Structure 1
Amino acid sequence: MKIKQNINKIPGGIMLVSLFIGALFHTFTPWAGDYFGSFTKGVMTGTVPILAVWFFCMGASIDVRATGTVLRKSGTLVLTKMVAIIASRLLPVGGVESGLFAGLSVLALISAMDMTNGGLYASIMQQYGSKEEAGAFVLMSLESGPLVTMLILGSTGLAVFEPQTFVGAVLPFLVGFALGNLDHDFRKYFGNATQALIPFFGVALGCSIDLSVIVQTGVLGILLGIFVIIITGIPLILADKYIGGGNGTAGIAASSTAGAAVANPVIVANIKPEFLPVAQSATALVAASVIVTSILVPILTAYWANYMKRKGESQGSGPVNPGANVPK
């Protein structure tokens, strides 16, 4: 059977199919992890440890001479995405109260836009970009948690940056990076594992997604996910092309909503009580945005990469896996 060959025909297939399988399990059998327990539960709920191993292997695959590329790329993407969400300030604090966008609030929009799904980005760039660009997730750790959201909303000094949290997020990558550059045999050994770990991360990420959220939020939830891709994606593409030195592929790959962003509305509302009335609707909308962007971003990135390939514009330092599943 040519299962992998057929999956490769789907834009972003390895990641997307794995994610969808996990989402189906979580939507229709949310009890499966606890019921089977042991290693099965570990695979279904192991997003963090799987990512930790993956980031370690990714770090080992990057040559120290490419450090400048990693920092330039990640810094460009993070700063551009933070600037792009200034558009959300056009909404009233209490949210839109009537019409098609009723229920949409500045809290929902910022929470959905300011946190990139670093794991999704890295997996996509492993397929359609370069290993240096995949490593750009390093500075994306700054977006994790409610810190950036609270800063953008103008919190009153209660958002305190904890350095050890940032260090903990990038430490596996740095250790792998050190080993890979101290011994090139380690670089080859661990670097070969990066592709194999993508479907495991996809399933684990999917097992945190409930597809019924799309039904609950209706058209507005779908539109929010599309808005996130458009409002952040266009500036990210331009920044990647004209500042980061890429062809825009990394920009699209970074235009997603992180799963952790779902918790942001409640956390922020508990600190800033004026957001409590919109926190519940914002949580549902952000969850919908996570699903929509998780599905659309791999597809759009694949088509953009294919378009650039036809134009003859290579991405970054060259593909990690030449002949990866770019749709024909």
Structure 2
Amino acid sequence: MDIKRAIDRIPGGLMLVPLLLGALCKTFVPGAPLYFKGFTQGIMTGVIPILAVWFFCMGASVSLRATGTVLRKSGTLVLTKLIAAWVIVLVASLFIPAEGIQTGFFAGLSILAVVCAMDMTNGGLYASLMQTYGSREEAGAFILTSIESGPLMSMIILGASGAAHFEPQIFVGAVLPFLVGFALGNLDPKLRAFFAPGGQLMIPFFAFALGNTVDLNNLLSPLAGLGVVLALAVIVLTGIPLILADKYIGGGTGTAGLAASSTAGAAAANPLAIAAVAPQFAPAAPTATVLVTICIIVTSILVPILTGLWYRRFGEGVAETDRTDEPHYAHPVPVD
């Protein structure tokens, strides 16, 4: 059975499929972790320690040894996505209370859900789209998207927008595994080669554990419609600045910007990770996880379609003339 190939055909499948399996366990056999105990309970409920190892491996995989063009394009997309997310959270915090909206169609929407949906790009989806629709440099421009991984950027945005306050040691605790991995990976390329594969290897494990926090019965509630609305907001509110930045700063056609307007599969882990170090977000974390998961699915479907349409209208021919034989930074395509 060619299971891996079937999973790879699904955008973000390495994250979404185990997450769905975990959600099925939570929905239909919620007592399984306590029944089996031991290592089975650990793998079903150990989101935080698994994430810690993943953050370390992701940090080790990031290298700043790249061509100037690749760094410029990558930096432009990452900074634009983060600034757009910060502005969105800043505005949303004026209307959404700290505990989230409790009534009406938007019941369940929280600042935590908004920031986690907006601030991370699906690097694997972006890279695959750019290999089809972009130049070589654009295809390699996902190398800095790993910096967005984990809860740190979400926490910085929450703090900078005034939506939350974090003690300094909380920031240190959130970023330390990533920074240690980043330092070791850049000090010794052999360590990077050793640890970097763990960034992909750990994805199905934390996705399965994360899924065990998601009750699929929530999808039968208004959260389904709200999640779709939030996903469309992600594409529009981050896509427009990304397109403009790609055209006028990155020197592209806007195709790369639109391709980066998705929600990363790993973003589904952020609400719980943030709640673990900032208990004030704990009540909103389960609902935020469901909403972000819906965003991942919807943006993984719509962004490739919209990117293809944009390329055929504005980028076809232009991107082809930009393709050169200049070597670009080689890096395994991330799976978000």
Asked if these proteins are the same fold (TM beyond 0.5), I'd say yes
Partner of 2:211: 206
**Contact persistence 1:76–1:239 (CA under 8 A):** yes
TM-superposed CA distance for 1:267, in Å, is 3.6
1:136 partner SS: helix
The alignment status of 1:48 with 2:48, answered yes or no, reads yes
Within 5 A, what are the aligned runs for 1:14-93? 14-65=14-65, 73-85=77-89, 88=92
Partner of 1:192: 197
The alignment status of 1:249 with 2:250, answered yes or no, reads no
1:195 partner SS: helix
**Contact persistence 1:127–1:321 (CA under 8 A):** no
Write the letter of the residue equivalent to 2:262. I
The alignment status of 1:260 with 2:267, answered yes or no, reads no
Q: What is the CA deviation profile of residues 111-142 of structure 1, one whole-angstrom value per residue up to 9, with x for unaligned ones?
A: 42123488895676687775523313258514
- CA distance, structure 1, for counterparts of residue 296 and residue 290 of structure 2: 10
TM-superposed CA distance for 1:147, in Å, is 4.7
The alignment status of 1:182 with 2:182, answered yes or no, reads no
Write the letter of the residue equivalent to 2:162. L
Write the letter of the residue equivalent to 2:106. L
TM-superposed CA distance for 1:209, in Å, is 0.7
Q: Which residue of 217, 221, 224 maps to 1:222?
A: 224
Where structure 1 has 5 or more consecutive residues not aligned to the other structure, the ranges are 153-158, 270-278
Partner of 1:292: 294
- CA distance, structure 2, for counterparts of residue 184 and residue 236 of structure 1: 34
**Contact persistence 1:59–1:180 (CA under 8 A):** yes
- CA distance, structure 1, for counterparts of residue 85 and residue 301 of structure 2: 20
TM-superposed CA distance for 1:222, in Å, is 1.7
TM-score by length of 1: 0.70
Write the letter of the residue equivalent to 1:238. I
Write the letter of the residue equivalent to 2:109. A
Q: 1:145 to 1:208 in 2, by over 3 A?
A: farther
- CA distance, structure 1, for counterparts of residue 101 and residue 120 of structure 2: 32
- CA distance, structure 1, for counterparts of residue 82 and residue 186 of structure 2: 26
The alignment status of 1:132 with 2:110, answered yes or no, reads no
Write the letter of the residue equivalent to 2:40. T
Partner of 2:253: none
Q: 1:283 to 1:166 in 2, by over 3 A?
A: closer
Q: What is the CA deviation profile of residues 187-215 of structure 1, one whole-angstrom value per residue up to 9, with x for unaligned ones?
A: 11212222222211221221111101122
Q: 1:189 to 1:87 in 2, by over 3 A?
A: same
More displaced stretch, 109-118 vs 195-204: 109-118
Partner of 1:162: 167
**Contact persistence 1:138–1:170 (CA under 8 A):** no
Where structure 2 has 5 or more consecutive residues not aligned to the other structure, the ranges are 130-138, 251-255, 323-327
Write the letter of the residue equivalent to 2:191. F
Q: 1:325 to 1:42 in 2, by over 3 A?
A: closer
Report the RMSD for the aligned CA atoms in angstroms: 4.4
1:252 partner SS: coil
**Contact persistence 2:115–2:154 (CA under 8 A):** yes
- CA distance, structure 1, for counterparts of residue 178 and residue 300 of structure 2: 23
- CA distance, structure 1, for counterparts of residue 83 and residue 120 of structure 2: 18
- CA distance, structure 1, for counterparts of residue 152 and residue 101 of structure 2: 31
**Contact persistence 2:245–2:257 (CA under 8 A):** no
Q: 1:160 to 1:91 in 2, by over 3 A?
A: closer
TM-score by length of 2: 0.69
Q: Provide the identity percentage.
A: 33
**Contact persistence 2:231–2:295 (CA under 8 A):** yes
